[in-house]
Amino acid sequence: MNFDWKDVFKGTPVLDERVLEHLRTTYVLLAVTAATASAGCAAAIFIPGMLWLMSGFIGRILCFAATSFLGAAVANSTGSAKIGMLMAFGGAVGASLAPLISLAADVDPALVLSAALVTVAIFGTFTFIAMLTSDRPMLYLGGMLMSALGWMFFAGMINTLLGARTLFMTVELFFGLFIFCGFVIFDTQVLLARADEKLAAGGRLTTDDAATAAVRLFLDAVNIFVRVLIILIRNSQKKERKERK
């Protein structure tokens, strides 16, 4: 008996064949973007001098500028240029994560793989929740999620200026993880709603539409991965300190 991934969504009230094909294209692009991010991270770690540059203030500014420029380029380009910009964006994001990945590998090489697996599990779970919810309630919570993200960023800046507090950092990590789990549902339901609206208007779902959605989902996955990895690093370091006593 042959398995068809589309059978997973059979019987759901929100998905038809054209939307399923659009989802397939989106998640293929998401996977390829994640692969280019891995390649960008590996290049930043193994090319002599790159990791040192990325760890410094200037390197962080350059990474921020590059990811911002490429993110805007993805939004404003079309066709093959859009796909190329998406891959470049993934590579730049991966390079910016190199210092964190290197730190995790120094603490315990297994942490990176563990964080990746946990991220896939979290992302997959909340994606299915979004797809199997017919009334799409999270579409109305986008503003709340953005406000919470803004307040978290502002509070993080205050905490940095006043000196890092371990308790606050822990709360920020888990609260941020909670927010981006919400964004997975929100962005998935936005993807489905826009696809339905375009089809209802007589339009056709294109690769450009899929690439735009893939950027949002990729950023959600990256933010979840970063927070999960930091939590694992801190737990591993705490365990190591206890064993030394």
For residue 180, being part of any structural domain is answered with yes
Question: To the nearest whole percent, how much of the chain has pLDDT over 70?
Answer: 82
pTM of the entire structure? Answer: 0.86
State the DSSP H helix or E strand holding residue 127, giving kind and residue range, or none if neither. Answer: helix 110-131
For residue range 145-199, what is the model confidence (pLDDT) as tens digits? 878 777 777 766 666 666 655 656 777 888 889 999 999 999 998 898 888 888 8
Residue 142 and residue 131: Cα distance in Å, rounded? 16
For residue range 94-113, what is the model confidence (pLDDT) as tens digits? 998 999 999 999 998 899 99
Q: Residue 177's domain spans which residues?
A: 15-244
Please count the structural domains in the chain: 1
For residue 164, being part of any structural domain is answered with yes
For residue 6, being part of any structural domain is answered with no
For residue 3, being part of any structural domain is answered with no
Question: To the nearest whole percent, how much of the chain has pLDDT over 90?
Answer: 37
For residue range 123-152, what is the model confidence (pLDDT) as tens digits? 999 998 888 766 666 667 777 787 877 777
For residue 10, being part of any structural domain is answered with no
Q: CA–CA distance from 188 to each of 10, 37, 40 (Å)?
A: 18, 21, 26
Which pLDDT value is given to residue 31? 96
For residue 221, being part of any structural domain is answered with yes
